[in-house]
Amino acid sequence: FFSDGMHDDLLTQLAKIGSLKVISRTSVMEYRDTTKNLRQIGRELGAAAILEGAVQRAGSQVRINVQLIDAESDEHLWAETYDRVLSVDNLFAMQTEMARSIAAAMHATLSPSEEAAIEQQLTDNLEALEAYRRAKLLSRYFYADDLERAQSEIRHALELDPNFALAWAQLAYINMAQFWGVEPRDEYRAAALEAIEKGRAIDPDLTELDIMEGYYHYWGFLDYEAALEVLEPLLPDNRNNAELLQITAWVNRRSGNWDKTLELLHQAEALTPREIRLVYSIGETYVMLRQWDRAQEYLDKATALDPAHARTMQLQGDLIAGRDGDFSSASRYTGLAKDYQRFLLDQYWAMLLHAGDEAVALEAAQLLEDRAAHRLVDQTEKDRGQADFRELALGLTHAYFGNTDEALPLLEAARQRLEQATTEHDPASQPGFVLWYALCEAHGGLGLQEQAVDSCQRAIENIPVDAMVKPLRVFELATFLAWAGADNEAMEQLKSTAESGIGYSKHWYLTDKRLDGLRDHPDWPALMDALEHD
């Protein structure tokens, strides 16, 4: 953790120098034990120079050897050995000296604000610094156990140094990662906001706190406008901040600003070309836009980085389903990914229905205990508590495959429970999307046309404003309208999502049995024409 932390800190310092392009740590870590030569590494990363070094630590002494090498010619541009007594003051002094020396070797001129940024000492407590570094490294991905450990580490850092503003920012991130990636508990949002406020009381100008506020609005409330108001003004002065570029891209994607999304994602790619989360995000965006060749390009990149990564497998499944309509193969990849990402259970189940795999679809339905998989955070705690979807999913699966005797009692029980939940809902709030969506499913599966039109329309009205999710949910709701015999209402919704150019491809429309009754609808040919570019 010590050498990893030094590495991360130094790259963070260098990234504050706007005239340098600094490749992020996630893209260079695979070269730690590589046998590749520097020229090859430089070309793979798009880097003109490589900084390499080693850390030796013995008790209170530390030795750091660093050298900056021209990646093409293999010539040394700068080298230095630092022998110091280990202290926070010495660590920050070394990092500042290295950053200045590297900037000089690269003929980069530092502005006064950049000088101040690289001279800033984050904490005066070495143990707090090391706990912060461990927390940061542990909170890279949405793994529940690692995030719990990261919480422990960052709180230890803040116990040692309550004035460590960057640690407060990291605490905010950890809480929002737990909210978004593990479980949407209100206490996580509240803890994140408290951490941001405490950090701002110490350093109101800290960029990382502004980024965390962006996460708070985005992950916490799907409030994209508020998130962009915080994030976009940061871009001109933080061109090397790959995290800022990525989150701003993601918020733009949710807002439907597709050109801006791709522009920012590709800018981030120049800084972190081998980070799988980013590579996957670009591929996922091209899948949403139904640009299959570009999606395949980024799937190939993700596969080269880590073919067993959950997101790589998810991307593979989405591409095979959308481009090829091979739902059987697609479900195998998504099924593997869902073992790591529970929110994929719903998509896995849907693919099995389209694949016609009744036995496995019934097994998947048994796993659908709740619809937290939707990641739609407008659902209330009461909604989540009432959202046991196993019974409903089993009934829908049986109905999809024509097993009426098995389906009807399950769907009727689910309908009664869900209708009661909507009428007995807390008067202080209205039923959210999740309950109306489930009721739409139950009404559709039972063929209750009038009730389905009402519940499905209420679900559509309550879908959070989300350009990435809304087309998918509208398609699904339309299939239940069609199942209930509300053909014109279903066709209206299907045309709206097909003409948007976003979301499910024609293969989803062609293979869904719930749409069988619409094949002879006079608007069906026009619907297919709208999807023809796929």
Residue 394 has pLDDT above 50, yes or no: yes
Closest alpha carbon to 492 in 457, 450, 451:
457
Q: What is the CA radius of gyration of the chain?
A: 26
Q: What residues form DSSP beta bridges with 61?
A: 58, 85
Neighbours of 524 (CB within 10 A): 16
| The two three-digit tokens of residue 225, written as one number | 């406008």
Given this model, what pLDDT does residue 427 score?
A: 55
Given this model, what pLDDT does residue 5 score?
A: 78
Higher pLDDT, 5 or 221: 221
Confirm if 53 and 66 have CB atoms less than 8 A apart: yes
- Tens digits of per-residue pLDDT, 422-438? 887 665 556 678 889 99
In single-letter form, the type of residue at position 151 comes to Q
Out of 31-40, 169-178, 225-234, 516-525, pick the least confident: 31-40
Residue 511 has pLDDT above 60, yes or no: yes
The DSSP 8-state label assigned to residue 521 in this structure reads S
Neighbours of 381 (CB within 10 A): 11
Residue 150 has pLDDT above 60, yes or no: yes
- Tens digits of per-residue pLDDT, 196-248? 999 999 999 999 999 999 999 999 998 999 999 999 999 999 988 999 999 99
Which residues have CB under 8 Å from 488's CB, separation 6+?
A: none
Closest alpha carbon to 158 in 166, 149, 167:
167
Q: Is 453 left (phi over 0), alpha (psi -120 to 50) or beta?
A: alpha
Given this model, what pLDDT does residue 15 score?
A: 86
Given this model, what pLDDT does residue 34 score?
A: 84
Neighbours of 200 (CB within 10 A): 18
Given this model, what pLDDT does residue 356 score?
A: 97
Given this model, what pLDDT does residue 380 score?
A: 43
* Length in residues, the chain: 534
**Residue 289, CB-side half-sphere exposure with 13 Å CA sphere:** 19
Higher pLDDT, 232 or 311: 232
pLDDT tier at 371, thresholds 50, 70, 90: low
Higher pLDDT, 424 or 529: 529
State the residue for tokens 């869902």: 338
- Tens digits of per-residue pLDDT, 247-294? 999 999 999 999 999 999 999 999 999 889 899 999 999 999 999 999
Closest alpha carbon to 376 in 263, 299, 473, 450:
473
* Gap between the Cα atoms of 440 and 484, Å rounded: 10
Residue 464 has pLDDT above 90, yes or no: no
Q: Percent of the chain having pLDDT more than 90?
A: 63
Given this model, what pLDDT does residue 385 score?
A: 44
pLDDT tier at 184, thresholds 50, 70, 90: confident
- Tens digits of per-residue pLDDT, 479-497? 999 999 999 999 999 999 9
Given this model, what pLDDT does residue 60 score?
A: 85
Neighbours of 122 (CB within 10 A): 21
Given this model, what pLDDT does residue 426 score?
A: 63
Q: Percent of the chain having pLDDT more than 70?
A: 94
Closest alpha carbon to 143 in 167, 185, 186, 174:
174
C-alpha pair distances (Å), 171 with each of 206, 423, 445, 493: 14, 39, 45, 42
* Gap between the Cα atoms of 470 and 257, Å rounded: 14
The DSSP 8-state label assigned to residue 47 in this structure reads -
Question: Please, what is the average pLDDT of the chain?
Answer: 90
Closest alpha carbon to 217 in 262, 256, 247:
247
Higher pLDDT, 319 or 383: 319
Residue 6 has pLDDT above 50, yes or no: yes
Confirm if 467 and 253 have CB atoms less than 8 A apart: yes
Which residues have CB under 8 Å from 360's CB, separation 6+?
A: 331, 352
Using alpha carbons only, what angle is made at residue 461 by residues 456 and 467, rounded to the nearest 5 degrees?
110
Residue 163 has pLDDT above 70, yes or no: yes
Given this model, what pLDDT does residue 35 score?
A: 85
Edge-first strand order for the sheet with 76-85 is: 49-58, 61-70, 76-85
Q: What are phi and psi of 212, to 5 degrees?
A: -65, -35
Helix (H) or strand (E) holding 78: strand 76-85
Out of 9-13, 158-162, 235-239, pick the least confident: 9-13
Q: What does the pLDDT average to over 96-118? A: 88
Per-residue 3-state assignment (H helix, E strand, C coil) for 458-510: HHHHHCCCCCCCHHHHHHHHHHHHHHCCCHHHHHHHHHHHHHCCCCCCHHHHH
Residue 193 has pLDDT above 80, yes or no: yes
Q: What residues form DSSP beta bridges with 57?
A: 62
Q: What does the pLDDT average to over 76-103? A: 88
Closest alpha carbon to 265 in 288, 285, 294, 287:
285
* Gap between the Cα atoms of 512 and 353, Å rounded: 8
Neighbours of 532 (CB within 10 A): 8
Given this model, what pLDDT does residue 142 score?
A: 81
* Gap between the Cα atoms of 302 and 316, Å rounded: 10
Q: What is the pTM (predicted TM-score) of this model?
A: 0.86
